[in-house]
Amino acid sequence: MRREVVVVGDRETVTGFSLAGVARGYVHSSREETLRVIRGLLAEEGVGLLLLTHRVAEELGEELRRMLRGKGPFPMVLRIPDRTGYRPERDELEEMVKRTVGAEVVLRREEE
Amino acid sequence: MMAVSPTRMGLLRLRRRIALARKGHDLLREKMDALVMEFFEVLRRIYEAREGAFQQLARAHAQLSLCLASWGTLETEQAARETRKGVFLETSLRYVMGVPVPVAEVGETVRTSLGRGYSLLSPSLLDRASEEFERALKLLVEVAELEETARALAGELERTRRRVNALEYILIPRLEAALKFIAMRLDEMEREHFFRLKRIKAVLERREEAGGVPEG
């Protein structure tokens, strides 16, 4: 199935990806507005990839996490650095690894 | 304690259930181990792919900053609006141990200046910025695919672990307790039965001694 790419972030990120041919970009301004946009995008069949800057993701916080929790394989959501290269110290991926692997360690210990 | 009938039949049925639960537990365990291995493999690939993609994105932003500064913000943004928007993903699903994970192909993202569709009079700085973003986009699609795969595997791992634990710490111990209860109850019934037989025998013998029963 053909699906499109959507980018949500700061102005430079949106401009950059438009230059690369991404049709839809949303410049983040207010938290409520961006949350509403993302909620809509997640429900859209035709969205294959949602690029979201780390900084915006961080500002949306727990509400975004909750939205993403029950999500299927599509749309894929990827957090990316913005023009300043900002990446949080503990990103979602590392959290997930710790959760998965951490419990794994405990489980191995129980076996002995 | 579960509701069980203390009969031989109940005992047999329970034994079968325990054997089944143990088998299920072993199978889920194996699935979990395989998922863990798969997960780590994907993780290794993420760390590889992500660095490259983010570096490319940083290069793209540096190039764009140059363009914004020297050609102008408004002009650059106008060109971005005029750019031909043709990026699509060819998506499908792949199953890794029964877990659906996304597959996305983006094809060639790097275009010629002509293919981009903005004015050919724009500076080469703009072309360079566009090209760097096109490269970054291709790499990011791969990272997204891998990260979503890792997320799906982690979710399945979590669910499998919960089921393994439920069997190991709840269902199997409960079944075993029920089995023990039935076994004890059956033993007790046997003792009672034996005792009754002895009593009957004693009564009969006493009657015999009293001469109550005429000899035939």
Is B51 within 8 Å of chain A by CB?
no
How much is the pLDDT for B2? 61
B57 contacts in chain A (CB < 8 Å)? 80-81
In this complex, which of A15, A16, A20 lies closest to B109 when CB atoms are compared? Answer: A20
- Greatest mean pLDDT range, B83-87, B127-131, B189-193: B189-193
Confidence of residue A109 (pLDDT cuts 50, 70, 90): very low
Task: Report CB contact under 8 Å: A49, B89.
Answer: yes
Mean pLDDT of the residues in chain B: 88
Task: Report CB contact under 8 Å: A73, B148.
Answer: yes
Task: Report CB contact under 8 Å: A20, B81.
Answer: no
**Per DSSP, what are the bridge partners of residue B96?**
B99
Angle between helices B124-165 and B73-82 (to 10 degrees): 70
How far is it, in rounded angstroms, from Cα B25 to Cα B27? 5
How much is the pLDDT for A112? 40
How much is the pLDDT for B5? 76
The predicted-structure confidence for B40-99, as pLDDT tens digits, reads as follows: 889 889 988 999 999 999 999 998 888 888 888 888 888 888 888 888 899 999 998 889
A87 contacts in chain B (CB < 8 Å)? 54
Compare A105 and B161 and report the one with higher pLDDT: B161
Chain A residue nearest residue B46, CA to CA: A93
How much is the pLDDT for B212? 62
In this complex, which of A15, A96, A103 lies closest to B77 when CB atoms are compared? Answer: A15
ipTM (interface predicted TM): 0.85
B residues 124-183 lying closer than 8 A (beta carbon) to A = 126, 129-130, 133-134, 136-137, 140-141, 143-145, 147-148, 150-152, 154, 157-158, 161
pTM: 0.81
The predicted-structure confidence for B145-179, as pLDDT tens digits, reads as follows: 999 999 999 989 989 999 999 999 999 999 999 99
In a 3-state reduction of DSSP, which class is residue B5? Answer: coil
CA distance A94 to chain B (A): 10
How far is it, in rounded angstroms, from Cα B152 to Cα B158? 10
| Number of CB atoms found within 10 A of residue A31's CB | 14
In this complex, which of A11, A20, A81 lies closest to B133 when CB atoms are compared? Answer: A20
| Number of CB atoms found within 10 A of residue B154's CB | 21
Residues whose CB is less than 8 angstroms from the CB of residue B118 and which lie 6 or more positions away in sequence, other chains included: B79, B80, B82, B83, B126
Chain B residue nearest residue A86, CA to CA: B58
The predicted-structure confidence for A22-58, as pLDDT tens digits, reads as follows: 989 999 989 999 999 999 999 998 999 999 999 999 8
The predicted-structure confidence for B2-31, as pLDDT tens digits, reads as follows: 666 778 888 899 999 999 999 999 999 999
How much is the pLDDT for A107? 39
Q: What's the average model confidence in pLDDT over A90-99?
A: 75
